[in-house]
Amino acid sequence: MKLTHYRRTGSVYSVDNGLLKFTVMKARDISEILSDIATLLELKGDNPFKIRAYEQGARIVEGLGDQLEPLVREGRLHEHKGIGPALSEKITELVTTGRLAYYDELRKEFPATIFDLLNIPGLGPKRVRLLYQKLGVRSLGELEYACVENRLLTLDGFGEKSQAKILDGIQQLKRHQGRFLFSDAMEAAEGLIAALRQSPEVIRISLAGSLRRRKETAKDIDLLVSSGSPAAVMARFVALPGVADVIAHGETKSSIRLSSGLQADLRVVSDTEFPYALHHFTGSKEHNTALRGLAKSLGLKMNEYGLFRGEELVPCATEADIFAALGMDEIPPELRENLGEIEAAQARQLPELITESDIQGVFHAHTTESDGRHSLEEMVKAAKALGYRYLGISDHSRSAHYANGLSIERVRAQHNAIDEIQQRHPEITIFKGIESDILADGSLDYPDEVLNSFDFVIASVHSRFGMTEDDMTARVIKAISHPAVTILGHPTGRLLISRDAYPLNLTRVLEAAKAHHVAVELNANPHRLDLDWRFCKDARDRGVRLSINPDAHSTEGLSDTRYGVGVARKGWLKRADVFNTQSADQMRQTLAAKKTR
């Protein structure tokens, strides 16, 4: 089934009795559709209670995760608190058929382009409905024209400042148009690879392009296969479930568009050509150009078809063989950006990059006490299942009203709860922490006696992003200088594809972090991936340790740590450069020492 009219991919490939099976929906995808329905109902101006029912249903379904399908299969979904018979019926329809007639009918009431407007900061369903009803705005282009003509000023609730912000938001969307988060693109790529692996004609298969280099966003998926029967592989590729359009279908290269709008390109080469093609199509362009120049200086010719001395092919079975033939160590894909990796490989000075197994525990985990979806004990059990030795609980502080931030009384109650749960789970250390808002003047969100009661404090900016660079820098540095602060959270505040970093002199911030023994977060949430990989080496060279944290708001979110590890690898980081590669005992000592400085 091709879900071409659904905004979400929902594409998961699995194998059943040797045959390819397509699972249409996962709990997360269904949750997003229920959330979409709530948005559509709000666009219609429907009953607020009905809207809230779908919003609540979306949260419940996402929290159920893998439990959802068994509940549906056993007909017990309606027994779950918060899911009535009507909602249960719709969820069952989605799980069993992959679509929902009610959702399809709702979508027909609005032009598809209207949903683009909801991606603009400050434009919620109520405001979009007003623009649609009063000005007939149906798309980003029409909205931009209306702003240029100052037509928004005729509407209640809009002024010159809000109109200017909307125009700025439109420009930002244009800059990122056609790009996808790394996590979304990787999930789709892994599904395609799993499906193609089942083809007996496939000898070797690999991801290539910017995804293999772990760039934070992607515009497409590049796949490479070696095979003696390329036509058969291509026929299977273009016929995979979840393909919305076949853009091109050739014998050695084909392109498809998935239901999400993401394009995937597949090239098929002989197995002899595979390592050369894999290096070439992994890139980057700058890395490839520099390496071809080096090969030429050695009397060799290098391209996607091989490495040649004159007309003779230099035999290479793997990429490592290619690098060895050029007189250097193998360069990990993440580093291939022509930013010094070739020179380091020649000098045998490439770092031994951090791996996922090096992470001993994580900080920055939210629970139902603030805006998380799972309880404290559920988060602890999930961290333990992932093999972590410690988990740092850091719900939002009291100023974060939007996230149900903890009052001082609730902080004390949570500390008591952690003590109780720690006794039940002695295999993992639970550190008591908080994500404290950095207020506009750089102060933190609790008095010192409360801050000192935590094992660690993550200090983060969550408001007033429009400050000048000097003011924002002074604000962050003042927070870092507080002796209770352990980690600077998501340091530049960016949201990939939707919000640029706030103005900040990062050099001065890193210097302050070093001076005050504060770690800087590498926030692994795929919407953030902040600190940007381009600054990781600078932080390392200044002696600042980075803390790879998932910013988890659910048990599933703890697994996002892997995306942060990818960024750290791209930023040349070793195990010793990362704060949370310490053992639980070492971490206890580190946190205690910070409190006594």
Q: Which tens digits make up the pLDDT trace of 526-552?
A: 989 999 999 999 999 999 999 999 999
User: Mean per-residue pLDDT for 438-450?
Assistant: 95
CATH of residue 125's domain is 1.10.150.20
Q: Tell me the H-state helices in 425-560.
A: 448-451, 469-480, 506-515, 536-541
Q: Per-residue pLDDT for 304 more than 80? A: yes
- Selection from 399, 395, 400, 405 nearest residue 374 by Cα: 395
Supply φ then ψ for residue 552, to 5 degrees.
-80, 130
**Strand intervals (E) in 402-544:** 429-437, 456-460, 487-488, 519-523
In this structure, which long-range contacts are made by residues 125-132, counting pairs with CB atoms below 8 Å and at least 24 apart in sequence? 125/39, 125/42, 125/43, 126/42, 127/157, 127/158, 128/43, 129/42, 129/43, 129/44, 129/45, 130/155, 130/156, 130/157, 131/155, 132/43
Q: Do the domain assignments include residue 422?
A: yes
Same structural domain, 428 and 502 = yes
User: Secondary structure of 247-308 in the HEC alphabet?
Assistant: EEECCCEEEEEECCCCEEEEEEECCCCHHHHHHHHHCCHHHHHHHHHHHHHCCCEEECCEEE
- Selection from 584, 514, 515, 516 nearest residue 546 by Cα: 514
Q: Per-residue pLDDT for 597 more than 80? A: no
pLDDT (0 to 100) of residue 528: 93
The helix or strand, by DSSP H or E, that contains position 187, with its residue range, turns out to be helix 182-196
Same structural domain, 24 and 170 = no
Q: Do the domain assignments include residue 1?
A: no
Q: Per-residue pLDDT for 4 more than 60? A: no
pLDDT (0 to 100) of residue 124: 86
Higher pLDDT, 36 or 377: 377
Partners of 245 in the β-ladder? 257
Amino acid, single-letter form, for residue 391 = L
Question: CA 364 to CA 395: how far, in whole Å?
Answer: 8
pLDDT band per the 50, 70, 90 thresholds, residue 25: low
pLDDT (0 to 100) of residue 226: 98
Q: Per-residue pLDDT for 368 more than 60? A: yes
Question: CA 341 to CA 283: how far, in whole Å?
Answer: 13
Question: CA 172 to CA 116: how far, in whole Å?
Answer: 12
* Residue 586 vs residues 221, 374, 380, 485, 581: alpha-carbon distances, Å: 41, 28, 20, 18, 9
Same structural domain, 104 and 169 = no
- Compute how many other C-beta atoms are within 10 angstroms of the C-beta atom of residue 177: 11
The residue from 56, 75, 108 where one domain ends is: 108
Same structural domain, 136 and 94 = no
* Residue 313 vs residues 35, 287, 303, 304: alpha-carbon distances, Å: 56, 22, 11, 12
pLDDT (0 to 100) of residue 175: 65
414: left (phi over 0), alpha (psi -120 to 50) or beta: alpha
Higher pLDDT, 242 or 482: 482
CATH of residue 414's domain is 3.20.20.140
User: Mean per-residue pLDDT for 467-475?
Assistant: 96
Choose the weakest-confidence range: 94-103, 174-183, 286-295. Answer: 174-183
User: Mean per-residue pLDDT for 26-55?
Assistant: 88
Q: Do the domain assignments include residue 467?
A: yes
242: left (phi over 0), alpha (psi -120 to 50) or beta: left
What integer best gives the mean pLDDT of the chain? 90
The residue from 66, 84, 108 where one domain ends is: 108
Q: What is the pLDDT of residues 242-290, one digit of tens each?
A: 898 899 999 899 999 998 888 999 999 999 999 999 999 999 999 999 9
Buried b (16+ CB within 10 A) or exposed e, 475-488: bbbbbbebbbbbbb
Q: Do the domain assignments include residue 38?
A: yes
Q: Do the domain assignments include residue 197?
A: no
CATH of residue 19's domain is 1.10.150.110
Q: Per-residue pLDDT for 133 more than 80? A: yes
Please give the model's pTM, rounded to 2 decimal places. 0.79
Same structural domain, 497 and 532 = yes
Q: Per-residue pLDDT for 7 more than 60? A: no
| DSSP code at position 139 | S
Query: pLDDT above 90 covers what percent of the chain?
Result: 64
The helix or strand, by DSSP H or E, that contains position 162, with its residue range, turns out to be helix 160-175
Question: CA 387 to CA 362: how far, in whole Å?
Answer: 11
Buried b (16+ CB within 10 A) or exposed e, 36-70: bbbbbbbbeeeeeeebebbbbbbebbbbbbeebbe
Higher pLDDT, 314 or 241: 314
Q: Return all residues near 180 (Cβ < 8 A) that are at least 6 apart.
A: 217, 218, 219, 260, 262, 497
pLDDT (0 to 100) of residue 29: 83
Same structural domain, 33 and 145 = no
Same structural domain, 133 and 83 = no
Same structural domain, 118 and 156 = yes
Q: What is the pLDDT of residues 543-590, one digit of tens each?
A: 999 999 999 998 999 999 999 999 999 999 999 999 999 999 999 999
Same structural domain, 42 and 163 = no
How many independent structural domains does the chain possess? 3
In the structure encoding, which two tokens stand for residue 147, read together?
Answer: 């702003």
Same structural domain, 386 and 449 = yes
| DSSP code at position 501 | P
Q: Per-residue pLDDT for 3 more than 60? A: no
Q: Return all residues near 285 (Cβ < 8 A) that are at least 6 apart.
A: none
Q: What is the pLDDT of residues 399-423, one digit of tens each?
A: 988 788 999 999 999 999 999 999 9
Q: Return all residues near 543 (Cβ < 8 A) that are at least 6 apart.
A: 514
* Residue 391 vs residues 165, 415, 446, 454, 580: alpha-carbon distances, Å: 39, 14, 22, 14, 10
Q: Is there a cis peptide before residue 284, judged by omega within 30 degrees of 0?
A: yes
pLDDT (0 to 100) of residue 13: 28
Q: Do the domain assignments include residue 64?
A: yes
In the structure encoding, which two tokens stand for residue 518, read together?
Answer: 């504060």
* Residue 583 vs residues 205, 514, 575, 588, 589: alpha-carbon distances, Å: 37, 22, 12, 9, 10
Q: What is the pLDDT of residues 164-210, one digit of tens each?
A: 888 888 877 776 677 888 998 999 999 999 999 999 999 999 999 99
Higher pLDDT, 244 or 353: 353
Please give the residue range of the domain that contains residue 169: 112-175
Q: Return all residues near 593 (Cβ < 8 A) that are at least 6 apart.
A: none
Question: CA 204 to CA 61: how far, in whole Å?
Answer: 38
pLDDT band per the 50, 70, 90 thresholds, residue 499: confident
Same structural domain, 80 and 169 = no
User: Mean per-residue pLDDT for 297-319?
Assistant: 96
Q: Do the domain assignments include residue 261?
A: no
Residue 120, burial from CB neighbour count under 10 angstroms (0-12, 13-18, 19+)? buried
Q: Do the domain assignments include residue 283?
A: no
Same structural domain, 439 and 503 = yes
The helix or strand, by DSSP H or E, that contains position 244, with its residue range, turns out to be strand 243-249
Contact 374, 421 (CB under 8 A): no
pLDDT (0 to 100) of residue 255: 96
Question: CA 568 to CA 321: how far, in whole Å?
Answer: 26
The residue from 58, 76, 108 where one domain ends is: 108
